[in-house]
Amino acid sequence: MKPVAFAPRMLRRLSLAAAALAPLGAVIACAAPVAADDFLLAGGGRLSGQLANVDETPRTKYEIRLASGGVVTLAAEQVASVVRRTPEQIEYDRLRHEKPDTAEGHFELAEWCRDKKLAEERKVHLERAIELEPDHVKARAALGYNRIQGQWRTRAEHLSALGKVQYKGQWRYPQEVEIMEAKAKADLAKSTWYANLKRWRSWFGTPKQAEAIAALEALTDPAAVPALKEYMDKEPAEDVRKYYVRGLAHIGSVPADLLLADRSLNDPSQEIRLTCLDYLDDVPQAMLVDYYIQQLRSTDNAVVNRAAVALSRFKDPRSISPLIEALVTTHKFAVTTGNSGGSLSATQGTGGSGISMGSSTRIVTQKLENPGVLDALVTTLEGKVNYRYDLAAWKNWYAGQKKMRLLDVRRS
């Protein structure tokens, strides 16, 4: 028997008729609701019932057993889609027509939906309850509202009013989001540059060495600085470190310049230290003068003198007083006395020393004159005065200079 092909108008009538008969079928079946389907029709409307020919393959027709007991057969192309309905949804359809359209009626139905895990339907009835009774406390609480400063607000509304936004499942201020995104971007760039430097370093000593050198000399991204610092710190080959220094010079950012300044003091190679200073000649002075003045307080006497040499290039008046203070500096040394022959060895505190079996070590403090600092001071003053390492004379002279400047300012 071929399926009946109903005209669109007839399908709409069937849909309306099925809807009219549904309450009668629901009364018959209310004691034990069974699963049913909603058949969405291609021409509009729907039919509710059970699919009788479930196992038909390929499907050519739908045999729909209505709740009223009748059966409607439709061609496959007349049904747009089928929505499976659970017994709970069938029971819900019955109850929602029985409950009064009051705040309490909708709240009771929402509670029933909660028990049956019908989340969307529950929300609809809770929202209708507060629409009918805005101060319905239980419905408000179920929807996540709290009374804040006399107004009902959800947590999201409250946090939004505070200026927060949702970001990756959490509420944060826009400034926090900006910082987090910037950090994530920096971390990604950092990992990328670590990978690049690792690859380029592996090319040294191979036919691709020239390509590695060209890549380092073409660096311009400030995000590469952290990776360059780590690779320079652990790189034993002086020639390779020279290329890292060139890359830093090409980047030209503040962190890159400060790293060059650090290498000018701490790199094992004197040539690289001086090369770093050469690259910094065109860098704005204030930042570097501040950095090198700070390094005059280093516990390493060698670093103190190197910082002074760097300051002599800038001849900045701000460095005069710190240089005077650094003419003679105090440093701690580890002194080791051995058992055999009363031998004595001394090593500055920042370095290491070998200690023979049975020896003893003590820490001594010693004042050191710093020739690099004296040269820098005389150079900065263009040779006008030179009190050698007489700190009292230098301080008296400097105090006199300050007094003269003050008098000049008052006169002007």
Q: What is the pLDDT of residues 21-74, one digit of tens each?
A: 444 333 333 334 445 788 899 888 888 888 888 889 999 999 988 877 889 999
What is the model's pLDDT at position 3? Answer: 52
What is the model's pLDDT at position 30? Answer: 37
Stretch 132-144: mean pLDDT: 91
What is the model's pLDDT at position 24? Answer: 34
Q: Is the pLDDT of residue 375 over 90?
A: yes
What is the model's pLDDT at position 87? Answer: 84
What is the model's pLDDT at position 339? Answer: 57
What is the model's pLDDT at position 133? Answer: 92
More confident residue, 162 or 262: 262
Q: Which residues contact 200 (CB under 8 A, 6 or more apart)?
A: 212, 215, 216
Question: What tens digit of pLDDT does each residue of 243-270 get?
Answer: 999 999 999 899 999 999 999 999 999 9
Closest by CA to 213, choosing from 235, 251, 243, is 243
Q: Is the pLDDT of residue 92 over 50?
A: yes
For a pLDDT cut of 70, what percent of the chain falls above it? 85
Average pLDDT, the chain: 84
What is the model's pLDDT at position 362? Answer: 87
Q: Domain limits of the chain?
A: 8-91, 99-162, 185-316+371-411, 328-369
CATH 1.10.287 fits 185-316+371-411, yes or no: no
CATH 2.30.30.100 fits 8-91, yes or no: yes
Stretch 137-146: mean pLDDT: 90
What is the model's pLDDT at position 162? Answer: 84
Q: Is the pLDDT of residue 5 over 70?
A: no
Q: First CA to last CA across the chain, in angstroms? A: 117
What is the model's pLDDT at position 283? Answer: 82
The three-state (H, E, C) secondary structure of 106-154, written as one string: HHHHHHHHHHCCCHHHHHHHHHHHHHHCCCCHHHHHHCCEEEECCEEEE
Stretch 190-201: mean pLDDT: 94
What is the model's pLDDT at position 411? Answer: 61
More confident residue, 239 or 68: 239
Choose the weakest-confidence range: 13-27, 54-68, 137-151, 356-370: 13-27
Stretch 303-314: mean pLDDT: 96
The token duo for 91 is 């029971």
Report the residue count for the chain.
Answer: 412
Q: Which residues contact 310 (CB under 8 A, 6 or more apart)?
A: 261, 264, 265, 277, 280, 288, 292
Query: For residue 363, what are the β-bridge partners?
Result: 334
Distances (CA, A) of 88 to 118, 158, 370: 8, 35, 90
pLDDT band at residue 398 under the 50/70/90 scheme: very high
Stretch 374-398: mean pLDDT: 95
Task: Quote the pTM value.
Answer: 0.56
